[in-house]
Amino acid sequence: MKSFKIKILTVVGGLLLLFSASCKKWVSDTSEPLQVDESLVFSTEKGFQDVLTGVYLQMGDSTLYGRDLSMGVLSLLGRSYDQNIETSIGPLFYESARYNLQGADLKKYAAEVWIKMYQSIANLNNLLVNIEAKKSIFTGNNYNRYKGETLALRAYLHFDLLRLFTMAPAAGTSSGPGIPYIKTISPGKAAISTIDEVMGMCIEDLKTAESLLSPTDVTNYRINNWAVKGMLARLYLYKGDHENAKLCANSVIESNKFLLAKTNADLFFTNENLFNLFLYQSQSFQKSVFADQAKLGLTAVNQTELYVKVNGAVADWRKSFVDPTTGNGTGAPFMPKKFYPFASKPSMPMVRLTEMYYIAAECALKDVDAVKATALLDTVRVHRNLPKYPIAGLTLENLGIEIKNEYQKEFIAEGQMFFYYKRKNMPFATLPFTKVPVDGNASYLFVKPE
Amino acid sequence: MNLKVFGLFTLVSIYLSHQTGFAQEQNKKSTKKVVDVTHQDREIIVSVKDRDNFNLLDSVRVVIGIQSKHTLNGVVVFENIGKDSVVLINKPGYYGLVKKLSAGTMQIFLQKSNEAADGSIVNTGLYSRPNSIFSGAAVTVSGTDLRKVNSSSFINALKYFVPALSASRSNLVGGDPNAISDIRLRGANNFAFGAIVANSKTGQKGVQLAPSSADYIASNIFSSGSPVIIMDGVQVSLQTATDFDINSIHSITVLKDAAATAVYGLRGANGVIVIKTIKPQRGLLNVGIISELQIAAADLSSFNVLNAKEKLGIESKAGLYAGDLAPYYAKRYDDAYNKGINTNWLEMPLRQGIGMKHSLSLSGGNDDMVYSVTAAFNDNQGSMKGSSRKTSELGALFGGRIRSFSFDNRFSYLAAVASNSPYGTFNTYTLQNPYWNPYDPETGKTQKILEEITIGGKTINLMNPVYNTTIATKDIADYSRVSNITNLNLVINEKLKLNGNVGISKQMDEVNYFLPPSHTTFADVTADNLFERGHYEYTSNSFMNMEAGLRLDYHNIFGKHEVYATAGQNMIQTSSESTGLIVQGFNVDRLSDIAFGAAYATTKPITGKIITRYASTFANAVYSYANRYQLDLSAANDLHSAIGRNDNSVLFWGVGLSWNVKQESFLESIKWINRLKLRGSLGTTGNQYFLSYLNSTTYNYYTNQQYIPAGTGSGVIGRGLGAYLTSYANPNLKSPETFKQNIGLDVAMLDNRLALNIDLYQQKTSNLILPLISDLSSGFVDYTYYQNQGSIENKGLEFSALGTIYKSDKNNLNWNLRVNGRWNKDEITYLTGYSPSAIWAVPSLGIDSQTGVEMFQKKDGSTTSVWDANDKVLAGDLMPSLMGSFGTDASFRQFSAGIYFNYQLGAKVYNQTLADRVENADVFYNVDRRALMQNWTNTIPTYATTRLVQKDDRIQCSSIMLGYTLPKNLANKIKAKNIGVRCMLNNVFEWGGAEMERGIYYPFQRNYTFSLNANF
């Protein structure tokens, strides 16, 4: 009996001990069904790619670069369309055409942009934390690549938030309040940095990214070393730092990693771009802008105005417009042909090589080097099936106008023109193709949500 | 939960098995000798002791061979024993024993066969202790007492005995049989979660669509102050406990302070309600039958609406017929005055709800084996037509014992069907104008449109809500629940016993909600949107709870020192799932099946899935010196999947001290004091009612898009796959912690005729889990970050007095009186310093008699006629400062009677009826009678003003009971052990309180119950 008792006690004691030890694991292992735990996502290299890809997908949302920050709202603000600018296109587009950024519709839209971009930034920041924490998991150059891409995307989003929600440096002081630059994922309050500080932090992130990303990797459906340089050039120009802008733009141009197109097979010139964003839902987004109820586009008169007059030519590859329903050039062609047929062009250029030429040209103007500027513009013109400028050359002032015209032609329906006008702080009266009068409260400033 | 389960199990097993098994072991040593001892003239001394307290037992029948004797002073002596080698021991209230005879002196321990429901043993669910040495604040109420007060709701009955328990029904749900009360022990320990979710505009992570009613975590997320309910060792939701037959309750123990709840660790902060069901009775076959007739009648005493003529009068006075409505006056006047139409809309959805309840139990067994089979059916019909709750229940218990090992297995099946009235909510009917006729005057059929009016060229159809009852409107929730609890018990020796238990329960719920296409809801859907008419919601939920536990109990007495100790381990896993579908586009009213719908109203089903795991290692030890001074120590080291990440363990502790003053020599001579005990405790407990996944950072994958060029390799799974953040963890999340302090005094005097209990408590809950409001730029929009912040403190005093005014064995005459109450004060000790149930309103200076405009006092003391939300002040508290109950019962011969009251004092209420149905009333619809006094030219709406904050001091007669028991000799004639009949009235009447409509969506109701109880 005694030994039986001892046996029992030993077994019980053992069980209790075992329980306590295994309980901890049992409780910790509770997973959240319907969701994937962070530890599982980041248990392989592929997981890091998935999260990064997730951010690219988020950027392809219709509110962001999928539609409204490219061919939608920003292209209406950027005056890419003069066709069908009526209330029937819906309040968001119509009020965009009126530059009514203070109005309720665009306030709501601005809030969505703000929220979605900062959500993507939170995703990037959590990714960064994990990249550092699991550094040993990476093979080859992947640590550098993931970290570089993440930092570059963070800068890209912050820079566009800055361009949307704060005044351009050209329009006033850049020491005023900008936006929060979020570097860590954390809840609660976020401090607002000045415009200068935000630009500084963007540059810092981009420079780190540049040092991490391999210059030999020229995959252009994600951010690469050259896209980062391109973004730096864009940022410096916006900031008014022409010296650095020129350096960055030239380094891209001179690298010859990306070459200008020789044919018009692809009117998006996808291969020459430094960074394109795939849009999985491009078809429905494009339809919602160019077909269906909106049917936005540029009328034949203004197509001629933009592409043919002065130094243009009918042969310009970019002057290809089609009827969005038939795809034919006859009838009522008003949609840039690059979008036709819908979904055939599943990406949106985010940083174009040609922008580097324009930036370099603008910097050359600053240096009062008309020859250099003309040469840069001519390089692009040749690859767009246009003749070079007349030998007589252009005045500096005319070159400025030419650069603006080239921006308009090159970036039609891509949203970049809004940033151009804003950077130049152009008076609303001078904007081209104004179909409806701008609102009394017209402004280049998107309204930050409460 | 686990802990409780453990405790209950152990207790159960204790009854079933200890004594016997244990006694056998005691004598194992000598069994070998027995063979040798064959002397004809042996002398044997048998001493018999109680297994629990080692007291010598008298009047134990001891049989050896043909000799039968009773113990005196615990001892009996036998001489001249023949060849007999066994001894039979028997005492009522204890398990009988058969033992081998040994030589000389035998010591035998007996185990009580049934735990007393009188509170002499405190069963905490995890362990039992004699009340005399228990230092915690706990109350035990027997099932019999409960059923005397309320035979349908154990919570309402328990409220009468336990002043610490508040069970409040929302004024909206009233007497709805499908709505449960909000219960709380002592003060508020948390904020209601719902308010937080709504305020922070965040997604509801970890919250399911219509979770299973068995999900005790989900059902308490929104009422997180609810105590834990342990039923036969497993945690259940209040709904489950309420659906079980009240007749099967043996006793309920309510645990309040730290000494009583610390072993519950993470679960203990809100207190614990331990329910034990009746154990099988031994015998060949015991049959128990209870039949009840229940009648529910709506209590409309708080409603006072206008009749047709008055209504027309007030409409004219208010200028309703000055504009577009002018053409309708004549018709309405004609209807009201000439045709005599004066519809009593309040009565339209109401009825006398007649339901019935039957319970049957069969049980039997002997000391080695017991069984019981129970069945119950309860059809609870509400006072609104078509509103009912039907529950059916089957239970089977089987237990057995082999030597020192015993087991029992309890299986139960419970099913409920909850139907809501097709009439919709009651407030629809309080609005209908009495001059409207629900029936077509020509055909007498229910008409769909009461009146058609044209305002500003637009035709408006005023729909008849009664019409919806003529079509297949459906609103039914049903579930079936299966549970099995196995309990194993091994008596190692007289000091040690081991318990193990495993419990599994699974419940499946379904909710069907159907609005047919011609339902008045779709009256405005135009003909070309035909496929938007009709609406079917189907939700399917399930909940599974698995528990396992192991526990070791120790008890020993060394001279004046007595030690009880228990240590154990529990593991609990809950998993719940829900899936909801919404289908629309129905064409036939009668076809109330989801299959007849045209399409989904949503693009995908709404799903939810939650798993939680909880493990607790706990221990309790009580040391008692000479039954005078007790030290009670508890600790629980709990692990929970929803807290922490880095460290998910929390340590809780409790210390109790008690002093039985009566045991001291200086009180020994004072005969009129029977009991005097001082006790105190302090310690910590936690709360498990918060969202489950706040401690995990999670991702999800985009399933509808890939980051690839369209049309290129989209078929390749995983290519261009993107993941996104769906929640961000607080890896340091801690359980909320409640620090409890309690001082109590128990007194019994005058030959136990007067019993007094007083408890003074203070509870401070800190580390509340609350959302952090984040900037939009933090990215925390679709998910919210929760952290430990804030605290709530409550303090109060509970008292309870029970007196026997007269008691006589003659004629079974006795008369008892009971009074109890609780003062309580809640305070949010961070941010505001006010009670969470505070009412805020702008101070009113009354209505200016000249202008008829209400004047307010601003924060700066100035007077204004402009209402400003910034001027709001604390205008009162919804929770009463003092609440409790009192009542009396008496018995004489075969008759018994009782009357029981609840009261509350110091509560305030915002008179919503005055606001909504008088001052801000839309006079187009029917209004409260007080609107007749209203000056209808005043168009300023009334906002929150102290003028409408009124006292809500109330006394409610909660129960009147009359009973009669058939005399034994008559009962025996029909072979019955006893037969009784009882008549009970619940919610009889109410005095006081603000004059406002009570039971907005469903009227409160009076219940009449007639029951017959027979045992064979």
A123 vs B contacts (CB less than 8 Å): 724-725, 779
| CB atoms B723 and A53 under 8 Å | yes
What is the DSSP-derived secondary structure letter of residue B338? I
Residue B134 lies in a domain: yes
Q: Each residue of B637-660: pLDDT tens digit? A: 888 888 887 777 889 999 999 998
| Helix, strand, coil share (%) of chain A residues, nearest 5 | 55, 5, 40
The label of the residue with tokens 């407030």 reads B427
Output the six-digit token pair for B223.
């009422």
**Residue in A111, A185, A281 nearest the CB of B705:** A281
Q: Is B154 in the same domain as B257? A: yes
pLDDT category of residue B992 using cuts at 50, 70 and 90: confident
What is the DSSP-derived secondary structure letter of residue A385? T
CATH value at residue B272 = 2.170.130.10
Predicted pLDDT at B204 = 44
* Residue B986 pLDDT greater than 50, yes or no: yes
Provide the Cα torsion B193, B199, B205, B211; round to 10°: 50
The residues with which B100 forms a beta bridge, in sequence order, are: B86
Q: Each residue of B421-434: pLDDT tens digit? A: 999 899 899 999 89
Predicted pLDDT at A30 = 81
B697, B716, B717: best to mutate for the A interface, most A CBs within 10 A: B697
Q: Is B93 in the same domain as B150? A: no
Backbone angles phi, psi at A356, to 5 degrees: -65, -40
Half-sphere exposure of B405 (CA within 13 A, CB side): 4
| CB atoms B711 and A31 under 8 Å | no
Predicted pLDDT at B940 = 74
Q: Is B40 in the same domain as B154? A: no
Position B558, amino acid: F
Q: Each residue of B346-393: pLDDT tens digit? A: 998 999 999 999 999 998 887 778 899 999 999 999 999 999 999 999
pLDDT category of residue B274 using cuts at 50, 70 and 90: very high
Residue B756 lies in a domain: no
Q: Each residue of B381-402: pLDDT tens digit? A: 999 999 999 999 999 999 888 7
* Residue B97 pLDDT greater than 80, yes or no: no
Residue B883 lies in a domain: no
* Residue B93 pLDDT greater than 70, yes or no: no
**Residue in B493, B775, B779 nearest the CB of A119:** B779
pLDDT category of residue B850 using cuts at 50, 70 and 90: confident
Q: Residues B657, B660, B663, B667: is their CA dihedral positive or negative? A: positive
Predicted pLDDT at A19 = 62
Output the six-digit token pair for B1001.
């969506």
For residue B268, give its domain range: 121-284
Q: Each residue of B688-719: pLDDT tens digit? A: 888 888 888 888 888 878 887 755 555 555 67
Position with higher pLDDT, A408 vs B969: A408
The model carries a pTM of 0.84
Output the six-digit token pair for B984.
């009970």
Residue B943 lies in a domain: yes
Predicted pLDDT at B53 = 64
| CB atoms B723 and A51 under 8 Å | yes
Please state, in angstroms and as integers, the Cα–Cα distance from residue B753 to each residue in B670, B784, B799, B817, following that order.
15, 58, 17, 10
Predicted pLDDT at B830 = 62
pLDDT category of residue B119 using cuts at 50, 70 and 90: low
Total domains present in chain B: 3
Q: Is B16 in the same domain as B156? A: no
Predicted pLDDT at B29 = 39
Predicted pLDDT at B36 = 44
Looking at the domain covering A41-280+347-430, what would its CATH class be? Answer: mainly alpha
Q: Is B141 in the same domain as B240? A: yes
What is the DSSP-derived secondary structure letter of residue A388? P
How many Å separate Cα A447 from the centre of its chain? 19
Q: At which of B264, B284, B304 does a domain end?
A: B284
pLDDT category of residue B760 using cuts at 50, 70 and 90: very high
Which helix H or strand E contains B47, and what residues bound it?
Answer: strand B42-50
Position A116, amino acid: K
B701 vs A contacts (CB less than 8 Å): 36, 50, 54
Output the six-digit token pair for A117.
């971009």
Contact present, A285 and A62 (Cβ < 8 Å)? yes
Q: Is B88 in the same domain as B182? A: no
Q: Is B228 in the same domain as B272? A: yes
**Nearby residues of B681 by Cβ (< 8 Å), 6 or more positions away:** B135, B136, B137, B257, B258, B259, B260, B632, B654, B655, B656, B657, B740, B741, B742
Single out the residue of B2, B17, B111 nearest to residue B550, CA to CA: B2
Domain boundaries, chain A: 41-280+347-430
Cβ pairs A/B, distance under 8 A: 204
Q: Is B145 in the same domain as B275? A: yes
B778 vs A contacts (CB less than 8 Å): 118, 122, 182, 185-190
* Residue B9 pLDDT greater than 60, yes or no: no
Spell out a b/e string for B871-903, using b for 16 or more CB atoms within 10 Å of the CB, else e: bbeebbbebbebbbbbbbbbbeeeebbbbbbbb
If you average pLDDT over residues B160-188, what whole number do you get?
86
Q: At which of B50, B82, B110 does a domain end?
A: B110
Predicted pLDDT at B939 = 66
pLDDT category of residue B720 using cuts at 50, 70 and 90: confident
Contact present, A438 and A99 (Cβ < 8 Å)? yes
Q: Is B83 in the same domain as B160? A: no
Q: Report how far residue B633's alpha carbon sits from residue B148's, in angstroms, rounded to the nearest whole number.
A: 36
Q: Is B67 in the same domain as B125? A: no
Q: Report how far residue B888's alpha carbon sits from residue B898's, in angstroms, rounded to the nearest whole number.
A: 6
Per the prediction, chain B carries an average pLDDT of 83
Position A418, amino acid: F
If you average pLDDT over residues B564-590, what whole number do you get?
88
Q: Is B100 in the same domain as B128? A: no
What is the DSSP-derived secondary structure letter of residue B601? S
* Residue B76 pLDDT greater than 80, yes or no: yes
Single out the residue of A291, A300, A394 nearest to residue A343, CA to CA: A291
Predicted pLDDT at B220 = 79
Residue B127 lies in a domain: yes
Under-70 pLDDT residues of chain A: 1-9, 11-21
What is the DSSP-derived secondary structure letter of residue B93? T
What is the DSSP-derived secondary structure letter of residue B852? -
Position with higher pLDDT, B538 vs B812: B538
Predicted pLDDT at B225 = 80
A5 touches chain B (CB under 8 A): yes
Q: At which of B284, B315, B340 does a domain end?
A: B284
How many Å separate Cα B293 from the centre of its chain? 23
Give the ranges where A98-167 is alpha helix by DSSP (H).
104-133, 142-165
A431 touches chain B (CB under 8 A): no
Output the six-digit token pair for A279.
């849009």
Q: Is B193 in the same domain as B277? A: yes
| CB atoms A33 and B610 under 8 Å | yes
* Residue B160 pLDDT greater than 50, yes or no: yes
* Residue B3 pLDDT greater than 50, yes or no: no
Residue B132 lies in a domain: yes
A367 touches chain B (CB under 8 A): no
Strands B535-558 and B838-841: unpaired
Predicted pLDDT at B924 = 85
If you average pLDDT over residues B933-947, what whole number do you get?
74
Backbone angles phi, psi at B833, to 5 degrees: 80, 15
* Residue B682 pLDDT greater than 90, yes or no: yes
Position with higher pLDDT, B179 vs A2: B179
pLDDT category of residue B77 using cuts at 50, 70 and 90: confident
SS (H, E, C) B221-242: HCCCCCCEEEECCEEECHHHHH
Single out the residue of B542, B523, B550, B544 nearest to residue B534, CA to CA: B523
Residue B804 lies in a domain: no
Q: Each residue of B308-342: pLDDT tens digit? A: 888 888 888 888 888 788 888 888 888 888 888 88
Position with higher pLDDT, B927 vs B831: B927
Contact present, B466 and B346 (Cβ < 8 Å)? no
Residue B372 lies in a domain: no
pLDDT category of residue B415 using cuts at 50, 70 and 90: very high
